[in-house]
Amino acid sequence: AESYEEARIQCISKVEAVIAECRRTNLLFLDNHFDIENDLFANQDSNRQLDSSTYPFEPPKSVHRVPWIFKDPQFMTDSSSGYDVKQGVGGNCWWIAAVTTIAHRQDIMEKICVARNEACGVYGFVFHKDGGWISTVVDDNLYLSESDFNCDDEVYDPTGDKARFHKAQNQSNSEALHFAKCSSKNETWLPLLEKAYAKVHGDYQSLNGGWYSNAIEDLTGGVTTVIPGNGVLDKDRLWSEIMASALPNSTFVFGLSVSANGANFHRNGLITNHTYSVLTATEVTNEVGYTSRLLKIRNPWGENASQSVGEWSGPWSKGSSEWTLDIMKKINNESLNNGVFWMSFDDVLDNFKWLYKTRLFDDHWNLTQKWIQTSVPWVPTLLPTIFLVDITEPALVVFALSQVDSRYFTDLQGRYYFTLQFILKHRESGKVICECRAVNPEDNWSISCEVNLDCGIYEVVPRAFTSIESGRKSPLEVLKVWSYKNPSKLQKVGLQHDLAYS
């Protein structure tokens, strides 16, 4: 869709059409385009990628509808919050952390969770993809970690008591879910949102591994600046932006990640190769007049983080000496569970490799985009296409250069990896305003810069080059194998590929 409003209307229309069909047929909605129930014991197309020879996590064991799983299901109880969010099986902490960051923002959540009808089992969501808005609907079937009770010759259950006990113990409420789940035992918004996000990417496995910046942009349509923790010039300026993100309807949200250091866990409790959410920030003054800058952070594992694994263990951690009675009166730390902890601003910069600052856009912004197709050389080269931007009055301008998101068609991505850069300069004088490149070379799907510009015409000159990613198969190799092994899944992935490049 060309605008969010158009995607929202499309989403509502899809849900209304499903409701009408359900009432006509007197049947619950079954999503034939993402049928996790019927393919559970077949190819598992909804769960696995096309070439899933190295399936990275324990597969689900059963599928049931929301009313079967939950005694008193509720999409949201009152409102969502970051404390609701718990990561399930799989390596999608990058996405879970992004959801945690925005879950308390009802203005954002209402733009994502657009329409639903629990009675029919249909839910509609809107996401941002490759510069535009898309809508999708899903049914209320969800994956469970435990198999159904098996009544056979060895397990005699004439009264059904054993089956009911098995369900109550293993297949009921949020904890029974295989993937993401809410902390509340009856809430369903998170697993259904995750299912919709998996659907638009083809399967759940496609969500394994990623960057917070990609997820938060998919959820909000914002633009993310990646900031190295050890490379901040003006810490006061960054702190003021983090503080502003704690305000209602703020234009910023923040996330954090720890890079690998050769060990499983960071020396101060934080997990390497893992993403965290910033919930809020505050300043507090102690008894002797010293003011500390503090961030409230959450591990997306939530209560799954046993014995506080994955939580900060340094100053301002749970039970540390910094938490005097005076400080505890000033800061409500009752919610220091469910993966939540506090850190000082300086410790955040010292211990997190990357900070993600996402700018959100409201109706006061003018947004425009242009996609091009071009040949990418093997060495860094300025591309022949130049974007001209005419600034008619002084303004803060955000520039973003993106490539097509290959997560939607990972199996057909091929062996090539593209690195993006761009130069912004004043057209008349030739003065270079900024040179933009990825701060994190591995997080290179989109790069951006913010700059205050005076009136005038400016040139954005893209630069790109190609690398070969070892271990990946060419599209031809994938086609040769899967055109007869699983042609239906190949067709779906191929359609995503063709749509992305159309």
The catalytic residues are: 93, 274, 299
In terms of Cβ atoms closer than 10 Å to its own Cβ (0-12, 13-18, 19+), residue 344 is middle
- Cβ neighbours, 10 Å, residue 442: 9
d(CA 133, CA 11): 11
d(CA 477, CA 475): 5
Token representation of residue 311: 């939580």
Is 140:36 a contact under the CB 8 Å cutoff? no
Element (H, E) at 124: strand 122-129
**Region of residue 89 (phi > 0: left; psi between -120 and 50: alpha; otherwise: beta):** beta
d(CA 217, CA 405): 12
Q: Can you give the C-alpha Rg of the chain in angstroms? A: 24
Token representation of residue 71: 């005694």
- Cβ neighbours, 10 Å, residue 33: 11
DSSP characters for 220-250?
H--EEEEEEGGG-S-HHHHHHHHHHHTSTT-
3-state class (DSSP) for residue 454? coil
Token representation of residue 240: 């003021």
d(CA 327, CA 286): 6
Q: What are the residues facing 69 on neighbouring strands?
A: none
Residue 447's nearest CA partner among 457, 437, 455 is: 437
Backbone angles phi, psi at 193, to 5 degrees: -65, -45
